[in-house]
Every structure is written in C-alpha cells, then in structure tokens.
C-alpha cells in the first residue's frame, strides 16, 4: 500500500511539474511584453526579403516590414537577429529569437518542430541559369545545381532531380558566384528572391530565370511550439494587415511595378 501511495505521489509530482513546465513555455507572449522587445530572426543577405541597406546600414526588406508591424501589434520594440536559412529554427528553439520572419517555407517536417502562422507570402522555386542555357527545367536533371543550405529548394532538388549534383551554399549571393564561376550550371531559390538578385547584378544580361516552377512555396512566421497566445496575435495581425490594405502596400514597396524585381501579387493573407 505504501509503495502504491509513493508511486501515486511521484506521478502526481511529475504531472504537476509537467503542467508548470507547459505553462511556463506557453507564456512567451507575456515574457515578450514584460521585456518590451521582440527578437525576430530575419535575413541580412537575401533581398528583397532582408538585406543590409548600403546607405543606412540597417536591415531592410519585405520581411522586416512585417516584423515591424508585428512588433507594433505586440506593443514592443523590434530587435532584428540576422540569420541564414540553416540557423533560423535553431535560433528560435534556443530562445535567441522569439519569431522567425525570414522567408521560411511551411513544410510538414518543419511543422513538427515549430508552429507556423497563416501564410503571408506565396511564391515558387525557379532556376537562374546562364543566358545561353536551356529554357526547360528538365534539361538540368543531371546538372550541377546550386541551392542555399537548409532551404526547401535544396530538398526539392533531391526529390525532383535525384541524378543532379546539388551543391549547397550559405546564402544566395555565394550561389550566384558559383554560377558565375561555372562551378554550377543553375541555381534555385524562390522566384522573387531570384528576381531581386538578378536585378542587382551588374552582369544581369548574362543570366535568365526559367519560367517553370520547381515547387510552390507558402511562407509563414515561425513560432516556438505550443505558444498559442503569441501565434494568435501574429495571425490576427497578419489578417488585419490584409484587410487594411497595408499588406498589399508592403508588397508593392518590394515587388510592385516600380521596383527592380516586379512580380504580380497572386495571393491574399487569409485566416486558416
């Protein structure tokens, strides 16, 4: 009887400890508000989503504008944490970032380790190749192809073209350098990122973007698992930005007709 009592007591303490732990973890929204700052992981070398402005030396971009809107909705200051694709989730899980707003595609694998907001951007993977290269995607099925490490583009290549040789790089400018040097015959990234990259390249006439999509990508804000209160604030603000027209205005700043990389906006931010 005493053994059973001790076992029940031990299980009770474990359950209580688990509840306390869950409550502590699920209170990140309160922690952010108490600190008066939200730490957002974003790119500093991935235009037009996030890159360092040559004049101000600040990180600017589509993602940064959304990060600013989310900080405003939370009523706190914004602290940007520069990242690359491979470091996004580790920064969130380690607590060095509260949110990921860094062109991160929603995938089932990632959704097992972090939670995602409703998509605030929709795009597709495309190829950037030399101007003299073949126009069809399948022509590169056995080619050397550059991708950014830790991205869905890297994964999609292995699935779509298993006979290709995929070379991984820390960021898209390094991948472009490899294409220039002939180390790879094509590079892949989100269509809008490739358009932005090409627009800024001094030798842009030497390259072209293939029209075919390798895959469709839905981009969301990354939130630590179980942070339902924080996720709700993020989702509510994204839908609110769409309803007010501010989301479309942000899009036009970076992808509108007057930009270096114009792309039509073929999506709306909707509650899911």
Q: What pLDDT digit, counting tens, does each position of 114-130 carry?
A: 999 999 999 889 999 99
Q: How far apart are CA 235 and CA 252, in angstroms?
A: 21
Nearest 5°: CA angle at 189, between 184 and 194?
A: 95
> Which has more pLDDT, 108 or 213?
108
User: What does the pLDDT read at residue 16?
Assistant: 47
pTM (2 d.p.): 0.71
Indicate whether 12 pLDDT > 70: no
Indicate whether 84 pLDDT > 50: yes
User: What does the pLDDT read at residue 26?
Assistant: 54
Indicate whether 23 pLDDT > 70: no
Which class for 219: exposed (0-12), middle (13-18), buried (19 or more C-beta within 10 A)?
buried
User: What does the pLDDT read at residue 199?
Assistant: 84
Indicate whether 166 pLDDT > 80: yes
Q: How far apart are CA 73 and CA 148, in angstroms?
A: 32
Indicate whether 18 pLDDT > 50: no
Nearest to 201 by CA among 215, 180, 223, 229: 180
């Amino acid at each position: 009887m005493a053994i059973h009592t001790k076992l029940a007591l031990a299980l009770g303490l474990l359950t209580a400890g688990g509840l306390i732990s869950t409550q502590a973890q699920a209170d990140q929204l309160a922690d952010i508000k108490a600190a008066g700052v939200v730490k957002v992981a974003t790119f500093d070398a991935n235009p037009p989503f996030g890159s360092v402005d040559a004049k101000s030396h600040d990180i600017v971009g589509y993602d940064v504008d959304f990060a600013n809107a989310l900080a405003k909705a939370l009523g706190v200051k914004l602290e940007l944490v520069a990242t690359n694709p491979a470091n996004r989730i580790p920064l969130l899980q380690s607590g060095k970032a509260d949110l990921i707003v860094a062109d991160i595609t929603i995938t089932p694998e990632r959704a097992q380790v972090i939670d995602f907001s409703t998509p605030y951007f929709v795009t597709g993977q495309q190829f950037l190749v030399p101007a003299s290269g073949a126009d069809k995607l399948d022509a590169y099925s056995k080619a050397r192809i550059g991708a950014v490490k830790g991205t869905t583009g890297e994964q999609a290549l292995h699935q779509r073209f298993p006979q290709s040789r995929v070379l991984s790089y820390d960021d898209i400018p390094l991948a472009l350098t490899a294409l220039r040097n002939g180390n790879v015959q094509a590079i892949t990234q989100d269509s809008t990122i490739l358009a932005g990259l090409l627009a800024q390249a001094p030798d842009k006439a030497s390259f072209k973007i293939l029209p075919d999509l390798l895959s469709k990508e839905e981009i969301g804000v990354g939130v630590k698992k179980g942070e339902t209160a924080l996720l709700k604030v993020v989702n509510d603000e994204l839908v609110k930005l769409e309803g007010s027209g501010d989301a479309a205005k942000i899009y036009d700043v970076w992808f509108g007709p007057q930009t270096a990389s114009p792309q039509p906006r073929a999506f709306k931010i909707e509650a899911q």
